[in-house]
């Protein structure tokens, strides 16, 4: 690839860097934020899921906005909104304030990544798509790499508020690069916005995740949790019937008829739910369960990001030589095993051993995700790319937010089973949670084994 061909994937991946940095750095700082705001640590999962849920809710509009106002303009506006939300989070003085500002931050994030991926898909020819996707994931991996260490360092040296304020200069850099290197020409879309579909879909997503997020933790009465989940399920069912009668819906479930894309979106959901749960659980286990400092926790958690980044060097050749199906099956199986192995960690486990296990867990996890993301668009027509990226990004963020809520619920359940409390977690409370997360990952195999052996052959040859 030429230098400019590499530069475009890196620029549009700046939002992925910001999101991964934000999520990983916050996970390390959760205990410190909880002490500062005087709330239970597990209640702070609301600050993570509110952001991720905001992403999922507003993602469906990203494709329409990009087509209507231009990808570059929407891309830059999204980064600005994300940065403003980050600055406000750094000024929050209570959990409700933090949750509200995280929702605002998520509104910007909802447009950043899918519009950036759309710019990439429209700018890079198919012959260079595999290599471009590898470069596209590099900034995100760097964000995950820097997050745990930076979070531990910031919390140790200064206030947790700086973990949000640090996003602002990176946002400014992303806007400047986009304005200088991304083509701003586009043909405006005249199609109207599907407001009714957006309301139905948003209500469904908020209801389902809200029900899972509040289940069994005493945040609201059980009747409210049940009402959330019921309204969410009914709204999604209504949207399904609504979308079948219209051709201009904000999200078209009909594009799931493309097998590779369906495998990436639906088949990848268990894997992505596990990916959401693990980074949430690990820092809590190290700090609350093992008694490590934020800096020590970040130094161990960074191993997963190192493993994720290291796989990029062999990704292109691995896809060409082994094939998509074999890579997905092998990487997912090993990822599930390593997630389960995290449950075997104990306070006395040598840190070097923990680091090595986390490194290989991150490596195989990244191997599977890059393969899945590359294969997902191999059979998608160009005219449907904007809708496809919106649905894929929505499903991804929804899965990760479910993963965080799922991880918090698992910890609450295991703490009660052991006769303890979610307010006072111990090391033993984390083992069953990781075993369940590992088993959940393997559910993706039911989709991956159905792929043909020559799936994505055209991409491999190119």
Task: Enumerate the domain spans of the chain.
Answer: 3-180+250-461, 194-249
Which residues are 424's β-sheet partners? 421
Report the C-alpha gap between 235 and 196 in whole angstroms. Answer: 11
Q: CA-to-CA distance for 157 and 404, rounded, in angstroms?
A: 27
The label of the residue with tokens 């898909």 reads 121
pLDDT of residue 72: 82
pTM for this predicted structure: 0.75
Return the closest-CA partner of residue 328 out of 260, 397, 381.
260
Among 328, 279, 323, residue whose Cα is nearest residue 304: 279
Q: How far apart are CA 384 and CA 95, in angstroms?
A: 40
Rounded Cα–Cα distance for residues 260 and 268 (Å): 11
Cβ 306 vs Cβ 360: under 8 Å: no
100's CB contacts (< 8 A; 6+ apart) are none
Cα–Cα dist 274/362, whole Å: 12
What pLDDT does 357 receive? 94
What is the reported pLDDT for 1?
47
Q: What angle do CA 301, 215, 290 make, to 5 degrees?
A: 30
Q: What does the pLDDT read at residue 151?
A: 77
CATH assignment, 3-180+250-461: 1.20.1250.20
pLDDT at position 226 = 83
Q: How far apart are CA 198 and CA 204, in angstroms?
A: 10
Q: What pLDDT sits at residue 236?
A: 87
Asked whether the beta carbons of 126 and 2 are under 8 A apart, the reply is no
Instruction: Quote the pLDDT of residue 456.
Output: 61
Q: Which residue has the tokens 């306070």?
A: 347
Strand partners, 421: 424
> What distance in Å separates the CA atoms of residue 238 and residue 259, rounded to the nearest whole number?
24
The per-residue pLDDT string of the chain (462 residues; one tens digit each, 9 = 90 and over) reads 445 556 676 677 777 777 777 777 777 788 888 888 888 877 777 787 788 778 777 877 777 787 778 888 888 888 899 889 989 998 988 888 998 999 888 888 877 777 777 777 666 665 666 666 666 666 666 776 777 777 788 888 888 888 888 888 888 888 888 888 777 666 666 677 788 888 888 888 888 777 777 765 666 677 888 888 889 889 889 988 888 877 777 777 878 888 888 888 888 889 888 888 888 888 889 988 888 888 888 888 888 878 877 776 676 677 777 777 888 898 899 999 999 999 999 999 999 999 999 999 988 888 888 888 777 777 677 667 767 777 887 788 778 878 888 888 888 888 888 777 666 778 888 889 999 999 999 999 998 888 877 766 555 555
The pLDDT value recorded for residue 350 is 94
Of 371, 373, 369, residue with least CA distance to 261:
373
Which positions ≥6 away from 156 have C-beta within 8 Å?
A: 293, 294, 295
Would you say 402 and 425 are in contact if contact means Cβ atoms under 8 Å apart?
no
CA dist., res. 20 & res. 140, Å (int): 6
Question: How far apart, in Å, are the Cα atoms of 321 and each of 29, 184, 227, 230, 326?
Answer: 41, 37, 50, 47, 10
Distance from C-alpha of 164 to C-alpha of 151, rounded to nearest angstrom: 10
Residue 342 has what pLDDT?
A: 93
The secondary structure of the chain, three-state, reads CCHHHHHHHHHHCHHHHHHHHHHHHHHHHHHHHHHHHCCCHHHHHHHHHHHHHHHHHHCHHHHHHHHHHCHHHHHHHHHHHHHHHHHHHCCCCCHHHHHHHHHHHHHHHHHHHHHHHHHHHHHCCHHHHHHHHHHHHHHHHHHHHHHHHHHHHHHHHCCCCHHHHCHHHHHHHHHHHHHHHCCCCCCCCCCCCCHHHHHHHHHHHHHHHHHHHHCCCCCCCHHHHHHHHHHHHHHHHHHHHHHHCCCCCCCCHHHHHCHHHHHHHHHCHHHHHHHHHHHHHHHHHHHHHCCCCHHHHHHHHHHHHHHHHHCHHHHHHHHHHHCHHHHHHHHHHHHHHHHHHHCCCCCCCCHHHHHHHHHHHHHHHHHHHHHHHHHHCCCCCHHHHHHHHHHHHHHHHHHHHHHHHHHHHHHHHHHHHCCCECCECCHHHCHHHHHHHHHHHHHHHHHHCCCCCCCCHHHHHC
């Amino acid at each position: 690839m030429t230098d400019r061909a590499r530069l475009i994937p890196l620029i549009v991946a700046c939002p992925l860097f910001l999101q991964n940095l934000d999520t990983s750095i916050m996970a390390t700082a959760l205990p410190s934020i909880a002490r500062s705001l005087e709330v239970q640590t597990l209640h702070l999962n609301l600050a993570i899921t509110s952001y991720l849920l905001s992403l999922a809710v507003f993602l469906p509009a990203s494709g329409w906005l990009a087509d209507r106002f231009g990808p570059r303009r929407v891309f830059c506006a999204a980064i600005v909104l994300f940065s403003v939300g980050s600055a406000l989070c750094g000024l929050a003085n209570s959990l409700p304030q933090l949750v509200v500002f995280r929702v605002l931050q998520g509104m910007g994030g909802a447009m950043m990544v899918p519009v950036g991926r759309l710019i990439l898909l429209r700018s890079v020819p198919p012959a260079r798509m595999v290599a471009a996707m590898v470069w596209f994931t590099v900034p995100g991996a760097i964000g995950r790499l820097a997050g745990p260490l930076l979070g531990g360092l910031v919390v140790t040296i200064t206030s947790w508020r700086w973990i949000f304020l640090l996003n602002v200069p990176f946002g400014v850099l992303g806007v400047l690069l986009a304005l200088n290197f991304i083509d701003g020409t586009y043909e405006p879309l005249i199609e109207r916005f599907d407001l009714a579909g957006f309301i139905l879909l948003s209500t469904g997503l908020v209801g389902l995740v809200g029900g899972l997020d509040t289940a069994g933790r005493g945040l609201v009465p059980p009747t409210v949790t049940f009402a959330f989940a019921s309204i969410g399920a009914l709204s999604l069912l209504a949207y399904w019937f609504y979308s079948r009668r219209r051709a201009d819906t904000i999200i078209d479930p009909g594009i799931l008829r493309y097998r590779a894309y369906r495998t990436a979106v639906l088949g990848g959901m268990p894997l992505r739910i596990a990916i959401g749960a693990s980074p949430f659980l690990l820092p809590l286990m190290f700090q609350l369960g093992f008694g490590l400092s934020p800096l020590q926790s970040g130094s161990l958690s960074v191993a997963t990001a190192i493993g994720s980044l290291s796989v990029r060097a062999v990704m292109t050749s691995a896809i060409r030589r082994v094939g998509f199906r074999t890579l997905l099956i092998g990487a997912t199986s090993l990822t599930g095993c390593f997630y389960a192995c995290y449950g075997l960690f104990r306070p006395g486990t040598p840190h070097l051993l923990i680091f090595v296990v986390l490194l290989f867990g991150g490596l195989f996890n990244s191997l599977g995700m890059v393969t899945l993301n590359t294969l997902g668009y191999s059979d998608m027509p160009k005219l449907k790319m904007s809708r496809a990226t919106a649905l894929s990004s929505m499903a991804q963020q929804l899965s990760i937010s479910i993963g965080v809520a799922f991880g918090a619920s698992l910890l609450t359940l295991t703490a009660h089973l052991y006769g303890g409390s979610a307010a006072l977690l111990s090391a033993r409370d984390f083992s069953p949670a990781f075993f369940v997360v590992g088993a959940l990952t393997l559910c993706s195999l039911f989709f991956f084994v159905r792929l043909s052996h020559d799936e994505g052959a055209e991409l491999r040859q190119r």
